[in-house]
């Protein structure tokens, strides 16, 4: 057998051919042009050998295949370039699909995008039943669609409605879900996975057929109907001029059976048309920004096994739960058991929602320990303070902590508005204190600001970033300055909208304007969600304006604090703001609302709150949801806003 750079072929005594993908010079398997070119040759060789069956697996422990090599996307200059690139995967995957012997993809760990398209071109799929195994077609998040056969094959393997849902949302499924959907034929624990793949190849079961109703949906006649229904759902979430890709997916499936080469040039579903809008480039930009944040703290080894959180309120309780869910032992401290109880209850709900599996829920619950004495601090690798926003209380607490914690432990505060230097003023070693600033709601928001005070040891800030990565959040290094990055930029933006309420502009009209701009939620609804008391305090602190907006002041005085009290600017029912019809929205209104945001973002970069403009864009996209298709506020300004 020939030798390859990225692939390894082995025949076994039973006549099976094992093909291992182990991309040279990297820890993660991605499908580059070179890899795919070789794969095509591997398939020719396999066809010549004509084994009893062929099993494709990863030669790496990190996962199966992470998808296309997105670095190569940067070389694409035109639709024709893109199609040439697609051809490199499209042809071999078709070849794979037409091999005369049984083919099995053995999926252990992530199996994304092009990786799943390769697996879909195999006759069978065997997945390792482990939380690490995730399958998705996330191309929509990059503003494109699964061009290497995904749109064609997925809706033939699973019910079209489920296939469309996966492709339109980019959401991943685990092995069990994949088994239930029919995406994989077998889901088994790691120790028997190889054998399961072998048995599947040697004694291939009859190929699964879609149920009758699902098969009907794949018929040409019904497809436009299904697509039209899905389009209505998409339209509720994304406008075509902002996000053309989901619409293109529906057209590609219903009109062209997912074949990118059948789509006429200039058709909005074509890859050329998608690449001609700024959306794809901006979303690809965000992918790289996210990679950059993920890389923070990578060069530092810091193994956090035990986290001690003090203050089981809104923030501390959820921080503790997230750490326990990610495998750490967590002691959660508060003044008494009554104060701890709600946080422990919320943690249970989170585990149930996110982990689903009985054993994993039990394990996470076991790792979260209520602590009314504070003894946990002695063993912890990371101590996070999340008590009331009160300088004296924090100082007192840290004075005690500094004496009892392990020498190498990270001492962190979740403060939103106090200066680290003030908190650490009486420390024996002020260089130990770092800010780890989470956002509310902690389980949902990916961004965490890692705050370095004047005296903070840079090595400790790096360790803090490594810890943030270990709980699968995105660390953004920021300087210790009021509001850090995210709240500082949100402050004037909210303040502007709140003052415009006093001028008589309807809240729902302003919210509609900013949603039109591409924000996930308008400013007034956001204020209600954050809590009007917090908005008032932050506004005063950040803008230094003496008098708060009038209507805001009235509502706070009446204890109508927004979502948490059931009413604020809006009435809240079942977690939803009850809004009346919005008035007309024009560019001038949008401009007036967004200008303070953009100005403050520029100012923060000028002051060096973050290292560069790209990091500010990353922080503001992941921290405030700034319209992703615009590529970030500073990028948007540069592009000529």
Binding stretches for ligand NAI (CB under 6 A): 310-316, 333-335, 339, 386-389, 393, 397, 414-416, 438, 440, 534
Catalytic residue among 6, 306, 308, 437: 437
Please give the structure tokens belonging to residue 273. Answer: 């048309």
Q: Cis before residue 7, ω within 30 degrees of 0? A: no
Nearer to ligand NAI, 50 or 337 (CB): 337
| Cα end-to-end span (Å), the chain | 58
| Closest distance of CB 634 from ligand NAI, Å | 24
| Closest distance of CB 569 from ligand NAI, Å | 18
Sort 264 into a burial class: Cβ within 10 Å, 0-12 / 13-18 / 19+. Answer: exposed
Which DSSP symbol is given to 75? G
C-alpha Rg value of the chain to the nearest Å? 27
75 is catalytic: no
Q: Are 486 and 449 in contact (CB under 8 A)?
A: yes
CA 528, CA 534: separation in Å to the nearest integer? 10
Catalytic residue among 29, 452, 487, 567: 487
Which DSSP symbol is given to 587? H
Please give the structure tokens belonging to residue 565. Answer: 């009290």
The residues near 366 (Cβ < 8 Å, ≥ 6 apart) are none
| Closest distance of CB 575 from ligand NAI, Å | 17
Element (DSSP H or E) covering residue 516: helix 507-517
Element (DSSP H or E) covering residue 57: strand 53-58
Closest CA to 523 of 497, 545, 502: 497
416 is catalytic: yes
Nearer to ligand NAI, 342 or 520 (CB): 342
635 is catalytic: no
Closest CA to 351 of 312, 322, 331: 322
Please give the structure tokens belonging to residue 41. Answer: 């040759």
Nearer to ligand NAI, 394 or 462 (CB): 394
Q: Are 150 and 117 in contact (CB under 8 A)?
A: yes
CA 436, CA 215: separation in Å to the nearest integer? 51
| Closest distance of CB 356 from ligand NAI, Å | 27
Closest-approach residue to ligand NAI (CB): 313
The three-class DSSP label of residue 88 is helix
Measured from the Cβ of residue 282, the count of other Cβ atoms closer than 10 Å reads 23
CA 101, CA 342: separation in Å to the nearest integer? 58
Nearer to ligand NAI, 252 or 380 (CB): 380
CA 245, CA 142: separation in Å to the nearest integer? 9
Nearer to ligand NAI, 117 or 385 (CB): 385
Q: Could you tell me whether strands 134-136 and 173-174 are parallel, antiparallel, or unpaired per DSSP bridges?
A: antiparallel
Catalytic residue among 385, 402, 449, 600: 449
487 is catalytic: yes
Nearer to ligand NAI, 42 or 526 (CB): 526
* Angle, alpha carbons 197-202-207 (nearest 5°): 75
Nearer to ligand NAI, 212 or 388 (CB): 388
Catalytic residue among 58, 282, 365, 416: 416
Please give the structure tokens belonging to residue 554. Answer: 């009235």
| Closest distance of CB 547 from ligand NAI, Å | 23
| Closest distance of CB 608 from ligand NAI, Å | 22
The residues near 160 (Cβ < 8 Å, ≥ 6 apart) are 214, 217, 218, 223, 226, 253
Q: Are 478 and 610 in contact (CB under 8 A)?
A: yes
Nearer to ligand NAI, 118 or 561 (CB): 561
| Closest distance of CB 525 from ligand NAI, Å | 16
CA 432, CA 460: separation in Å to the nearest integer? 7
Nearer to ligand NAI, 329 or 414 (CB): 414
CA 459, CA 410: separation in Å to the nearest integer? 10
What is the distance of C-alpha 579 from the center of its chain?
29
Closest CA to 90 of 45, 120, 46, 49: 120
CA atoms within 13 A on the CB side of 376: 25
| Closest distance of CB 343 from ligand NAI, Å | 8
What's the full length of the chain, in residues?
641
Nearer to ligand NAI, 440 or 560 (CB): 440
Active site residues: 416, 437, 449, 487
């Amino acid at each position: 057998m020939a030798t390859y750079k990225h692939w390894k072929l082995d025949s076994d005594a039973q006549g099976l051919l094992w093909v291992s993908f182990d991309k040279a010079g990297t820890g993660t398997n991605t499908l580059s042009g070179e890899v795919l070119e070789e794969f095509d040759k591997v398939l020719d060789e396999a066809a010549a050998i004509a084994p009893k069956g062929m099993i494709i697996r990863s030669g790496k422990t990190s996962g199966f295949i992470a998808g296309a090599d997105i670095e190569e996307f940067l070389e694409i200059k035109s639709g024709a370039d893109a199609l040439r690139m697609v051809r490199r995967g499209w042809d071999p995957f078709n070849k794979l699909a037409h091999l005369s012997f049984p083919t099995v993809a053995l999926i252990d760990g992530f199996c994304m995008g092009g990786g799943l398209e390769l697996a879909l071109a195999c006759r069978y799929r065997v997945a390792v039943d482990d939380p690490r195994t995730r399958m998705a077609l996330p191309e929509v998040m990059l503003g494109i669609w699964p061009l290497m056969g995904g749109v064609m094959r997925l809706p033939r393997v699973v019910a079209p409605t489920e296939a469309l849902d996966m492709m339109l949302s980019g959401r991943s499924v685990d092995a069990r879900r994949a088994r239930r959907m029919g995406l994989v034929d077998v889901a088994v624990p790691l120790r028997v996975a190889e054998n399961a793949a072998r048995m599947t190849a040697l004694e291939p079961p009859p190929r699964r057929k879609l149920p009758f109703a699902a098969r009907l949906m794949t018929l040409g006649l019904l497809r436009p109907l299904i697509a039209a229904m899905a389009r209505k759902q998409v339209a509720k979430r994304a406008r075509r001029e902002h996000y053309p890709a989901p619409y293109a997916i529906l057209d590609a499936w219903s009109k062209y059976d997912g074949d990118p080469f059948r789509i006429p040039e200039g058709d909005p579903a074509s890859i050329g048309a998608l690449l001609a809008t700024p959306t794809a480039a901006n979303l690809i930009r965000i992918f790289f920004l996210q990679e950059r944040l993920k890389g923070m703290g990578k060069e530092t080894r810091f193994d956090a096994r035990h986290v001690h959180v003090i203050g089981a309120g809104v923030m501390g309780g959820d921080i503790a739960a997230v750490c326990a869910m990610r495998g750490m032992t967590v002691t959660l401290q508060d003044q008494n058991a009554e104060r701890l109880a709600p946080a422990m209850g919320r943690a249970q709900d989170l585990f149930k929602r996110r982990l689903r599996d009985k054993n994993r829920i039990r394990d996470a619950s076991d790792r979260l320990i209520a602590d009314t004495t504070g003894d946990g601090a002695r063993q912890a690798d990371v101590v996070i303070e999340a008590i009331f926003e009160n300088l004296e209380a924090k100082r007192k607490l840290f004075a005690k902590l500094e004496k009892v914690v392990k020498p190498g432990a990270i001492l962190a505060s979740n403060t939103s508005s106090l200066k680290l230097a003030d908190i650490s003023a009486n420390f024996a070693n002020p260089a130990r204190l770092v800010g780890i600033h989470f956002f509310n709601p902690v389980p949902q928001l990916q961004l965490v600001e890692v705050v370095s005070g004047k005296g903070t040891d840079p090595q400790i800030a790096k360790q803090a970033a490594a810890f943030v990565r270990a709980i699968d959040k995105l660390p953004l290094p920021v300087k210790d300055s009021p509001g850090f990055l995210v709240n500082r930029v949100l402050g004037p933006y909210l303040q502007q909208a709140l003052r415009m309420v006093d001028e008589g502009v309807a809240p729902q009209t302003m919210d509609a304007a900013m949603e039109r701009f591409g924000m996930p939620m308008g400013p007034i609804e956001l204020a209600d969600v954050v809590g009007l008391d917090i908005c008032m305090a932050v506004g005063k602190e950040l803008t230094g304006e003496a008098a708060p907006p009038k209507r805001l002041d009235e509502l706070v005085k009446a204890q109508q604090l927004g979502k948490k009290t059931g009413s604020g600017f809006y009435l809240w029912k079942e977690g939803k703001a009850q809004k009346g019809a919005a008035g007309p929205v024009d560019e001038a209104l949008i401009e007036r609302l967004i200008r303070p945001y953009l100005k403050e973002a520029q100012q923060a970069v000028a002051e060096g709150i973050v290292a560069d403009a790209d990091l500010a864009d990353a922080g503001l996209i992941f921290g405030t949801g700034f319209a992703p298709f615009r590529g970030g506020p500073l990028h948007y300004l540069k592009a000529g806003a």
